[in-house]
Amino acid sequence: MRVALFTETFLPKIDGIVSVLLLTLEHFQRRGVEAVVVAHERGVREYAGARVIGVPGIAAPFYPELHLGPPTLNTYRQVKAFQPDIIHLVHPATIGAGGIVIARALHVPFIASFHTGIMQMARFFNAGFLEPLLWAWTRWTFNMADARLATSTRVQQELMAHGVKEVGLWRRGVDARKFHPRYRDAAMRAALSDGYPEETILLYVGRLSPEKQIEHIRAVLEAVPGTRLAIIGDGPHRERLAAHFAGLPVKFMGYMTGEDLSRAYASADILTFPSAWESFGLVVVEAMASGLPVVASRVGGVTDVVTEGVNGYTFEPGDLDGLIAGVRAIVGEPGWREEMGRAARAFAEAQSWTTIMDELLDVYRGVLASRRTGAAVKLPSADILPVSRLPHSEREAH
Instruction: pLDDT band for 382, please (50, 70, 90 cuts).
Output: very low
Q: Is the pLDDT of residue 388 over 50?
A: no
Do both 106 and 17 map to the same domain? Answer: yes
Do both 366 and 251 map to the same domain? Answer: no
Instruction: pLDDT band for 120, please (50, 70, 90 cuts).
Output: low
Residue where a domain stops, chosen among 349, 366, 382: 349
Mean pLDDT across 68-92: 95
Query: What are the φ/ψ torsions at residue 195 (nearest 5 degrees)?
Result: 95, 10
**Which pLDDT does position 172 carry in this prediction?**
85
Q: Is the pLDDT of residue 384 over 50?
A: no
Secondary structure class of 37 (helix, strand, coil): strand
Instruction: pLDDT band for 383, please (50, 70, 90 cuts).
Output: very low
User: What is the secondary structure of 1-31 as a DSSP string?
Assistant: -EEEEEES--TTS-SHHHHHHHHHHHHHHHH
Do both 300 and 333 map to the same domain? Answer: yes
Q: Is the pLDDT of residue 389 over 80?
A: no
What letters, b where the CB count within 10 A reaches 16 and e where it falls short, cover 136-151? ebbeebbeebbbbbbb
**Which pLDDT does position 122 carry in this prediction?**
55
**Which pLDDT does position 118 carry in this prediction?**
63
Share of the chain above pLDDT 70, in %: 91
Of the candidates 75, 63, 67, the residue with the CA atom closest to the CA atom of residue 93 = 67
**Which pLDDT does position 171 carry in this prediction?**
86
Share of the chain above pLDDT 90, in %: 74
| Residues 164-193 pLDDT 10s | 999 999 988 899 999 999 999 999 999 999
Q: Is the pLDDT of residue 393 over 60?
A: no
Mean pLDDT across 191-219: 96
Instruction: pLDDT band for 300, please (50, 70, 90 cuts).
Output: confident
Q: Is the pLDDT of residue 148 over 60?
A: yes
Residue where a domain stops, chosen among 349, 368, 388: 349
Which residues is 4 bridged to in the sheet? 36, 87
**What does pLDDT average to over the chain?**
90
**Which pLDDT does position 35 carry in this prediction?**
98
Q: Is the pLDDT of residue 257 over 60?
A: yes
**Which pLDDT does position 21 carry in this prediction?**
96
Of the candidates 64, 62, 34, 63, the residue with the CA atom closest to the CA atom of residue 50 = 34
Instruction: pLDDT band for 387, please (50, 70, 90 cuts).
Output: very low
Do both 151 and 69 map to the same domain? Answer: yes
Do both 16 and 54 map to the same domain? Answer: yes
Do both 42 and 119 map to the same domain? Answer: yes
Do both 209 and 165 map to the same domain? Answer: no
Do both 381 and 304 map to the same domain? Answer: no
Please name the residues in contact with 135: beta carbons below 8 A apart, sequence gap of 6 or more.
Answer: 119, 162
Mean pLDDT across 143-152: 94
Structural domains of the chain, count: 2
Do both 267 and 147 map to the same domain? Answer: no
Distance of CA 168 to the CA centre of its chain: 17
Do both 305 and 255 map to the same domain? Answer: yes
Handedness of CA 299, 304, 306, 309 (dihedral sign): positive
CATH classification at residue 270: 3.40.50.2000
| Residues 333-350 pLDDT 10s | 889 999 999 999 999 998
Do both 44 and 138 map to the same domain? Answer: yes
Mean pLDDT across 273-280: 87
Do both 257 and 277 map to the same domain? Answer: yes
Pairing of strands 50-55, 46-47: antiparallel
**Which pLDDT does position 127 carry in this prediction?**
62
Are the C-beta atoms of residues 170 and 113 closer than 8 Å to each other?
Answer: yes
| Residues 307-336 pLDDT 10s | 999 999 999 999 999 999 999 999 998 899
**Which pLDDT does position 277 carry in this prediction?**
83
User: What is the span of the domain harbouring residue 293?
Assistant: 181-349
What DSSP character marks residue 178? T
Counts for the chain of helices (H) and strands (E), in that order: 16, 16
Which amino acid is present at 324? Answer: I
Mean pLDDT across 106-123: 80
**Which pLDDT does position 63 carry in this prediction?**
65
